[in-house]
Amino acid sequence: MQHLHNIALTVLKGNLHVQPSETLLILTDIHKQEVANVFYEAGLAITDHTLLVVMPLLQKSGQEPIPAIASLMANVDVTLCITSHSLTHTVARKKACEQGGRVATMPGVTFSMLEQGALHGDTKEIEALVEDYVQLLDSAKDVRIVKDGYELTFNLENRSGIHSTGIVRNAGDYGNIPSGEAYIAPIESSANGDILVDGSIANIGVLAEPLLLKIRNGRLEEAIGPDGEKLLTLLGEGNGRVIAEFGIGANKSAILCGNVLEDEKVYGTIHIAFGSNASFGGANEADVHIDCVVKSPTVYFDGQQII
């Protein structure tokens, strides 16, 4: 276990820049407690103010934690979420950052993901690629995604790209660890067309068969394929079906493994998410956020091919 302890130390010191004077919260649930224990022990080697809290199990990514957990997140210096489902796009995370905290999320992380894949990507290369993509997102207005004869279009005007490099060092910073993506909240009502998802979907895993998503005026109307009903059930009938995110993978070490934490970072992929995006510049609030990964698409910004 010593090598895992060393990896955890590297994450806490290198990615999160945890200091001896800071309070570090390791937040987990019953299914991820074994991995969280490794980070708790590593945290104690840095700061005596390290807490390990086992929270109630969430049912899906983007679901808000109970108020007691949200309050705790807002009152520590650093929160590391090693949970089954993602807390990245929640009001609790947003409020913690507004209080000056740093929040890193590792939803679904496994021991094997610590030892290989995205966590071991070239940091400088990831930061450079993410910066390039964010600049393109910031300047783009219209996006068109083409995949196997299907097209999806949407608008990005007056929305800002988000850097997600896996480095969470400054007050108010947040992001996934491991990471390597640039993402943005599209104008929700502007999305129209069809997109073929053939990578993976959060809370479902790697797809055995592609899933065709039909989106009209920003809302997912149909999901055609073996996992279609699963996706629609996860999203619910309300605002969960509204388009929330467009992201671009930028980590050449990431592996498509069925865990969207890593899958959406794979270089050469893009992802579309549905549900909550109010925490990163969007206008939609929902108690869910589900990412859908697309392999090897062709992407155009304002008519120019980018990917």
My answer on whether 44 and 190 are in the same domain is no
My answer on whether 240 and 177 are in the same domain is yes
Alpha carbons 57 and 280: distance in angstroms, whole number: 24
pLDDT for 111: 96
37: CATH: 3.40.1830.10
Residue where a domain terminates, one of 108, 142, 174: 108
Name the token pair of 85: 């489902």
pTM of model > 0.85: yes
114 is a domain residue: no
Q: How many CA atoms lie within 13 A of 295 on its CB side?
A: 14
My answer on whether 32 and 147 are in the same domain is no
pLDDT digits (tens, 9 = 90+) for 148-158: 999 999 999 99
pLDDT for 23: 98
pLDDT digits (tens, 9 = 90+) for 15-59: 999 999 999 999 999 999 999 999 999 999 999 999 999 999 999
Q: Which residues of the chain have pLDDT under 70?
A: none
My answer on whether 128 and 70 are in the same domain is no
My answer on whether 102 and 125 are in the same domain is no
236 is a domain residue: yes
My answer on whether 171 and 293 are in the same domain is yes
Q: Which domain holds residue 47?
A: 2-108
115 is a domain residue: no
Cα distances from 296 to residues 178, 211, 221, 284, in angstroms, run 21, 15, 24, 28
My answer on whether 154 and 52 are in the same domain is no
My answer on whether 87 and 141 are in the same domain is no
pLDDT for 1: 76
My answer on whether 203 and 239 are in the same domain is yes
pLDDT for 155: 98
113 is a domain residue: no
Alpha carbons 185 and 183: distance in angstroms, whole number: 7
**Residue among 35, 87, 23, 80 at smallest CA distance from 57:** 87
Q: Give the count of domains, the chain.
A: 2
